[in-house]
């Protein structure tokens, strides 16, 4: 085991945050989830990211406080989202240990991690335990811990505001890391990014497509950056649509949109239209048609017509349309027959077959690699685990909380749209059941209701209790 320089910095920052309070720790955790290519601690070939180190300190800081512990336990009660998420974790961890052993050798798999019994061939191996059975279990346990802690912390007005502000800072930091990635690549100073690119993952940070730098930002590759930037776009774009600090959120929305399109990731290009559609539908529902604001209403209604008009105008201008058409061809249409697309297609084929071979129960959390999140769910945790996840998503994102139009409702709406954007992106490239700490962190923000605690604090029963104490 070795502690990396960035790990030492992480420990120092964590100790400082312990003195400042759990809210400062939570805000720091939000930013740390950006460091997708960093390893604070290396144990053999395993990497422990800075965010997971901070998560441990946040757990200590949160669960030593009675009120926060009570709110975290409440987030895990039936039928709250945390309950279904815990069911998914229990089922996934159990099958991750049992299924590769009970059904050993019965089918061929594309392993998510390293097979513990068979040598790596670059293709399929007989079913058996793999290293990712353990790592995915650890990650998913960390995810549910993060979720319930964020719900607990954000259930207070101060905690909610701190985490919401940290998410805006996350978007800004993501833009800055992307610009730094492009700048260091253009000037040959990539070594400046090495302190946050020290993990043992395979890095694809110096690649080009049609002469354009593939933007990786603080992640290991362009597709990971594009997926997280879609999440950022869904969050900050919703705040902009809702009129929250429009100058700042509008600038970050445009920057995130430009970066995800220019990332040269097919996932970014394919995932942008659905995300923009989510934002447009949010604008329609949030603002609607208000005759007292004719210009704002006209802008919302005419936005699709403006996009279509610009698209047609570009097509009529051959010089302007040709580079755009070539860019789309390279990233989407020509990629269908590429080696990467064929390989990912084979992963999905085997994943679907693994689902049927397991009689719908799944081959265990972390066993199978796929290239689509729904297939990753079905092949790894089967139909029961998929149902648990769907129930989690429905209870977390489909339920209306609070009074529409308020600050808290707007931030929850932004968090919900952000999570849906990530689910849509993962449907294209999701290789595993784990969706990362940031997804569950922002899902916790989408489920927090600080208004409820405020109302409870001023209820007649509460006031009588206070009077009796006085």
Q: How confident is the model at residue 467 (pLDDT cuts 50, 70, 90)?
A: very low
30-53: average pLDDT: 83
* pLDDT above 90 coverage of the chain, percent: 22
pLDDT of residue 165: 92
pLDDT of residue 231: 87
> In this predicted model, what pLDDT tens digit does every residue of 118-154 receive, in sequence order?
766 667 888 888 888 888 888 899 899 999 999 999 8
The backbone torsions φ and ψ at residue 433, rounded to the nearest 5 degrees and listed phi first, read -70, -35
Q: How confident is the model at residue 417 (pLDDT cuts 50, 70, 90)?
A: very high
Number of domains in the chain: 1
Taken as a whole, the chain contains a residue count of: 470
Residue 334, domain member (yes or no): yes
- Whether 425 and 129 have beta carbons less than 8 Å apart is answered as no
Copy the structure tokens of residue 78. Answer: 């039936």
Lowest mean pLDDT among 61-75, 106-120, 347-361: 106-120
124 class by beta-carbon count within 10 Å (0-12 exposed, 13-18 middle, 19+ buried): middle
74-89: average pLDDT: 91
pLDDT greater at residue 26 or residue 292: 26
Residue 286, domain member (yes or no): yes
* CA 160/CA 152 separation, integer angstroms: 10
Q: How confident is the model at residue 331 (pLDDT cuts 50, 70, 90)?
A: low
278-292: average pLDDT: 71
Kindly tell me the sign of the dihedral angle through the C-alpha atoms of 449, 450, 451, 456: positive
Residue 463, domain member (yes or no): no
Residue 457, domain member (yes or no): no
Residue 419, domain member (yes or no): yes
pLDDT of residue 167: 93
pLDDT of residue 94: 94
Q: Is the pLDDT of residue 463 over 50?
A: no
pLDDT of residue 391: 94
Find, among 1, 163, 19, 150, the residue nearest to 76 by Cα.
150
Strand partners, 48: 41
Residue 432, domain member (yes or no): yes
pLDDT of residue 255: 92
Residue 278 is part of which domain span? 2-451
pLDDT of residue 45: 63
Copy the structure tokens of residue 108. Answer: 């061929």
Helix segments in 21-156, DSSP class H:
22-32, 50-63, 66-74, 81-102, 132-154
387-416: average pLDDT: 88
243: Cβ contacts below 8 Å, ≥ 6 apart: none
- Whether 415 and 231 have beta carbons less than 8 Å apart is answered as no
């Amino acid at each position: 085991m070795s502690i990396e320089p960035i790990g030492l910095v992480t420990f120092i920052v964590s100790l400082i945050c312990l003195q400042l309070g759990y809210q400062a720790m939570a805000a720091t955790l939000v930013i740390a989830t950006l460091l997708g290519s960093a390893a604070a601690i290396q144990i053999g070939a395993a990497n422990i990211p800075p965010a997971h180190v901070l998560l441990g300190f946040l757990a200590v800081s949160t669960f030593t406080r009675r009120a926060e512990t009570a709110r975290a336990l409440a987030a895990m009660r039936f039928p709250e989202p945390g309950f279904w998420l815990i069911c998914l974790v229990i089922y996934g961890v159990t099958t991750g240990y049992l299924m590769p052993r009970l059904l050993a050798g019965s089918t061929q798999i594309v392993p998510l991690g390293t097979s513990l019994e068979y040598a790596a061939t670059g293709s399929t191996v007989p079913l058996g335990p793999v290293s990712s059975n353990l790592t995915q279990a650890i990650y998913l346990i960390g995810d549910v811990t993060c979720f319930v802690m964020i719900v607990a912390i954000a259930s207070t007005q101060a905690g909610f505001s701190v985490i919401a502000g940290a998410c805006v800072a996350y978007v800004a930091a993501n833009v800055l890391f992307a610009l730094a990635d492009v700048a260091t690549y253009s000037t040959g100073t990539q070594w400046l990014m090495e302190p946050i690119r020290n993990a043992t993952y395979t890095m694809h940070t110096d690649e080009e497509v049609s002469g354009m730098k593939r933007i990786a930002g603080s992640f290991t590759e362009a597709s990971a950056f594009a997926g997280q930037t879609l999440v950022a776009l869904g969050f900050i774009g919703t705040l902009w649509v809702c009129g929250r600090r429009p100058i700042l959120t509008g600038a970050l929305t445009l920057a995130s949109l430009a970066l995800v399109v220019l990332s040269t990731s097919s996932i970014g290009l394919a995932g942008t239209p659905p995300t923009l559609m989510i934002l447009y539908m949010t604008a329609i529902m949030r603002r609607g048609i208000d005759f007292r604001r004719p210009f704002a209403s006209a802008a919302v209604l005419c936005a699709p017509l403006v996009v279509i008009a610009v698209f047609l105008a570009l097509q009529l201008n051959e010089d302007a349309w040709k580079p755009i058409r070539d860019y789309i061809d390279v990233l989407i249409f020509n990629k269908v027959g590429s080696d990467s697309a064929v390989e990912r297609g084979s992963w999905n084929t085997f994943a679907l077959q693994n689902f049927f071979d397991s009689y719908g129960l799944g081959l265990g959390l972390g066993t199978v690699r796929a290239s689509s999140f729904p297939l990753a769910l079905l092949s790894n945790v089967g139909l029961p685990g998929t149902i648990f996840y769907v129930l989690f998503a429905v209870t977390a994102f489909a339920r209306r909380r609070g009074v529409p139009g308020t600050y808290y409702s707007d931030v929850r709406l932004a968090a919900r749209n952000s999570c849906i954007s990530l689910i849509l992106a993962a449907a294209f490239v999701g290789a595993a059941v784990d969706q990362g700490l940031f997804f569950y962190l922002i899902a916790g923000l989408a489920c927090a209701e600080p208004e409820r605690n405020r109302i409870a604090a001023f209820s007649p029963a509460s006031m009588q209790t206070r009077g009796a104490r006085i």
